Amino acid sequence: MNLILKVWRQKGAGSPGRFVSYQATNVSPDMSFLEMLDVVNEGLIARGEAPIAFEHDCREGICGSCGFVINGVPHGPRRGTTVCQLHLRTFEDGDVLTLEPWRARAFPVLKDLVVDRAALDRIIQAGGFISAPTGSAPDANALLIPKDDAERAFDAAACIGCGACVAACPNASAMLFTAAKVSHLGLLPQGQPERWDRARDMVRAMDRELFGSCTNMRECEAACPKEISIAFIARLNRDLVKASFQPRRAAAAAGV
Amino acid sequence: MSAVAALWSTSIGKKAVMAVTGIALVGFVILHMAGNLKIYLGPEHFDAYARGLRALGEPILVHGQALWSMRLILLAAVVLHVVAAVQLTQASWAARPVAYTEKEAVAADYAARTMRWGGVIVLLFIVYHLLHFTVGVVGYAPGQFQEASVYRNVVNGFRVWYVSAFYVVAQAALGLHLYHGVWSMFQTLGMNARGNGFYRGLAVVAAVLVVVGNVSIPLAVLGGLVN
């Protein structure tokens, strides 16, 4: 099959970008979208042109590296799918596809379809962890966790941090990402001691990174390759409001 | 107090303020619509209802005290709602300086996508509505508006077809705002225990009740049912 690609080309972070059209000729419907781009890039390299830069790693939908906007939809038209798991059979022969990087102030474009998502890492650094003494691994079932809690925590933990929620959100908000990260620890006993500090600190970090704010449009949920529910956003809202009426952990320990 | 200040300083806290003020405003809009329906009982009942609002709470409260307290609370709710909305909107617009060339709305419905400008229409309508039926400085011939004759004011006001048309359009905007807003209140306050469908249902009921009840009045006046 043949496709026409209109791809955002941008040399570097500070340079202006523009769309350039490319032909993907004689590609197999069984190829993944990234394999098709590999073929297009081989052609570009053979002609002495710069290949299209895109981020990728595992190519099995679990690492969160890949992702760009295809015809106005992050990760393309298939629900619950990263762009590396999107196959060309999803499209029709002769389709014209517009490929654009995630657009957000917090995600500056580094090159072509590659954006800097370090803002998400800084949200994690603000509280997306538990403080625990390390050492030998604890017994697997030493801490009993109700099955429903474990399931829900895992639903949130499925977040791969790809940034599609931010890309899809009309407000460029990172609420679904932050909600998933706050919730997957907040639902488990190990996450309880730091639960309120975590909600406060991660929301503050999210605001500092200049993401927009949620208006409950549900575009994030539809774009999420892991189909994470906005019920976690409601949970984050609840935790943040409760957290505002709790003393900080350090202050509480000091008896303040 | 510091907890409220801490809340207000975060994006989620500002949304919580919008949700709480939203509850007050939705409650008012529903009661206001219910009170409006008294127009179908005739001029005596309707004018007595208007007088009764001023006498509310007597003899514990003085004349007009309850009414003016409500007005101040509602004004505060509107101011907080709008200030939070403006600040959040500015932050959201700044969060995407380079727009997509192509962007498709996959999940967001019309009501969700028009919250901001729909809200502006509702705000402008509130200003007009107060100048029209409360103060009587717009929409009337000189001397036509009589503060004590509320029933006559409504009939005379709605007999102007384009004023009625504006009210109907504004109610449609209010209905869309309520449809997304009522559901959003629960989502923003984290009250999602009953599942999404329940809160969607509540939003539909609130929006339909308010719009149908309110729109019926200008239509009844234009149709001659209320005269």
User: Nearest by CB to A219, which of B4, B6, B106?
Assistant: B106
* pLDDT at position B41 over 60: yes
All residue ranges of chain A with pLDDT < 70 are 255-256
**What is residue A243's predicted lDDT score, i.e. its pLDDT?**
94
Q: Is A5 exposed, middle or buried (0-12, 13-18, 19+ CB in 10 A)?
A: buried
Structure tokens of A240?
């943040």
**Nearest partner of A155 among A147, A163, A167, judged by Cα:** A147
B11 touches chain A (CB under 8 A): yes
Provide the percentage of residues in chain B whose pLDDT is more than 90. 93
**What is residue B1's predicted lDDT score, i.e. its pLDDT?**
59
**What is residue B165's predicted lDDT score, i.e. its pLDDT?**
97
Tens of pLDDT along B104-155?
999 999 999 999 999 999 999 999 999 999 999 999 999 999 998 999 999 9
Residue A37 contacts residue A27 (beta carbons within 8 Å) = no
Tens of pLDDT along A11-39?
999 899 999 999 999 999 999 999 999 99
Residues 90-109 of A with CB under 8 A from B: 98, 100, 103-106
**What is residue A246's predicted lDDT score, i.e. its pLDDT?**
87
The pairing of strands A96-100 and A3-10 is: parallel
Residue B27 domain-assigned?
A: yes
Domain range enclosing B49: 10-93+108-222
Cβ density class A62-86: b for 16+ within 10 Å, e for less? ebbbbbbbbbbbbbbebeebbbbbb
Write down the residue that tokens 């941008």 correspond to: A10
Residues 25-84 of B with CB under 8 A from A: none
Residue B99 domain-assigned?
A: no
Tens of pLDDT along B179-208?
999 999 999 999 887 888 999 999 999 999
**What is residue A173's predicted lDDT score, i.e. its pLDDT?**
98
Query: What average pLDDT score do residues B38-53 get?
Result: 96
The pairing of strands A73-74 and A17-24 is: unpaired
Structure tokens of B142?
């000189």
CA B98 from chain centre, in angstroms, equals 34
**What is residue A227's predicted lDDT score, i.e. its pLDDT?**
97
Mean pLDDT, all residues of chain B: 95
SS (H, E, C) chain A: CCEEEEEEEECCCCCCEEEEEEEECCCCCCCEHHHHHHHHHHHHHHCCCCCCCCCCCCCCCCCCCCCCEECCEECCCCCCCCHHHCEHHHCCCCCEEEEECCCECCECEEECCEECCHHHHHHHHCCCCCCCCCCCCCCCCCCCCCHHHHHHHHHHHCCCCCCHHHHHCCCCECHHHHHHHHHHHHCCHHHCCCHHHHHHHHHHHHHHCCCECCCCCCHHHHHCCCCCCCHHHHHHHHHHHHHHCCCCHHHHHCCC
**What is residue A65's predicted lDDT score, i.e. its pLDDT?**
97
- SS percent in chain B: helix, strand, coil, step 5: 75, 0, 25
- Set out the domains of chain A in order of their start, with CATH numbers: 3-110 (3.10.20.30), 117-132+140-253 (1.10.1060.10)
B98 touches chain A (CB under 8 A): yes
Q: How many domains does chain B have?
A: 1
Residue B8 contacts residue B14 (beta carbons within 8 Å) = yes
Residue B227 domain-assigned?
A: no
How far the first Cα of chain B sits from its last, in Å, is: 52
Cα of A204 to nearest chain B Cα, Å: 7
Predicted ipTM of the assembly: 0.93
Cα of B57 to nearest chain A Cα, Å: 34
**What is residue A255's predicted lDDT score, i.e. its pLDDT?**
63
- Interface probe, candidates B2, B9, B12, B113, chain A, greatest A C-beta count within 10 A: B12
The pairing of strands A114-115 and A69-70 is: unpaired
* pLDDT at position B74 over 90: yes
Residue B212 domain-assigned?
A: yes
Half-sphere exposure of B179 (CA within 13 A, CB side): 19
Structure tokens of A235?
């949970």
